[in-house]
Amino acid sequence: MRSAPLDAPPRPDLDWLLHRTRRTPASAAPTPRGGAAGSSAPLADFLAGRTTRRRPDAAPAAPTPPPAPAAAPSPAAVDDLDLSGDDLDLSAPAAPPSSGDLDLSAPTSRPTPPAGPPPSGDLDLFPEPAAAPGPAQPQPSAGSDLDLFPEPAAAPGPAQPQPPTPAQPPRPAPVVRTVPRVAPGGRVILTPREPVVVLDRLQSGIGALTVTAVCSPAVGDLVLGVVYQLADGFSGVVSRPLGIPTAPPRTRRPVLEAARGEFEQVGVDLRQVRSLRRFVVWATSASESELAWGGTLRVATHGGSRVEIPLDVGRHAGPLVIASVHVLEGELVVRAELDPVRGVARDVARAHGYGAITWADARTPVL
């Protein structure tokens, strides 16, 4: 049975229900119009447990006409129904069956229940408030996991032709420059356009290599010097004016040796060429004055082959690095440098990467 809401107004018929009078029993009710007086007595006796057999001397009762159809009871009649056992009036027309539980305390017009989840039971006096509507759930998009009927993939169309790739211009072949070599007994002049020449193994391994500064007395007091590096990493200086005429210093078999004949010259012992890595030849004034540059630096082999470097340079006061010689796989590579350097012997060594030499001053190495 449902209970009325706590805030419902009091029913107007409660006072009548408390002070109502009981109905007259069916046995004392007047005989209905047009019917026999004892027509309802057998039914009352049957319900009371008394016998209902007919006596032989009793006259048959007159047939009772069928009652007129009763009108449907109003809602007020349902509220006035007396359910007490001793006042049961069977002659009253039966009420139509109810579609649910009989609610005696509910008002005549029932309010529309609020939208929300159904109540948890018939006796829920404190119903939970309806939940606020949440955000709409997103519908599954096409191609998701809940898509039981995905759209079929479109059939691939014909491949679009790709535009032709423009042809790359052919790369020019690298220019391979052959390094000139000195023919046996031949002569090569090195210039800024052709500054390198190679001596073969015979020219680089037999006898001695003589480096000579062929200059007239008009040039001035020109002297030669050499900065070298041996195969074991030792570096030093060869200079006759500095008092270091051989390299390595204080050895009985020098690899490099400075001397003075008709001209300034430096000799290289080619029998020990494998103990040599590289060296540079520079020219300077013995008095550290300005020279009138001219003449030729000549590099000659034992077989008479010659490499010549003209000393046609502008006006310059200080050392001039004329040539560099490198030992590569048993062959000597001669290069014309003609590099003017401002300073003295120490500046020449540092300008060409001979940093392993220590110096007592700018002119005197520590060997």
Domains of the chain: residue spans and CATH: 187-360 (2.60.60.30)
pLDDT score, position 16: 62
- The Cα 29–Cα 15 span in angstroms is 27
203 neighbors 305 (Cβ within 8 angstroms): yes
pLDDT score, position 149: 58
CA proximity to 344, closest of 264, 267, 282, 280: 282
255 neighbors 230 (Cβ within 8 angstroms): yes
pLDDT score, position 99: 46
- What tokens were used for 156? 């691939």
Q: Reduced to 3 states, what is the DSSP secondary structure of residue 172?
A: coil
CA proximity to 248, closest of 261, 262, 235: 235
The pair phi, psi for residue 200, each rounded to 5°, is -70, 180
- The Cα 263–Cα 103 span in angstroms is 144
280 neighbors 348 (Cβ within 8 angstroms): yes
pLDDT score, position 121: 46
- The Cα 144–Cα 284 span in angstroms is 90
Low-confidence ranges of the chain (pLDDT < 50): 1, 26-39, 52, 56-59, 72-103, 106, 120-122, 142-144
pLDDT score, position 238: 95
pLDDT score, position 161: 74
pTM (two decimals): 0.54
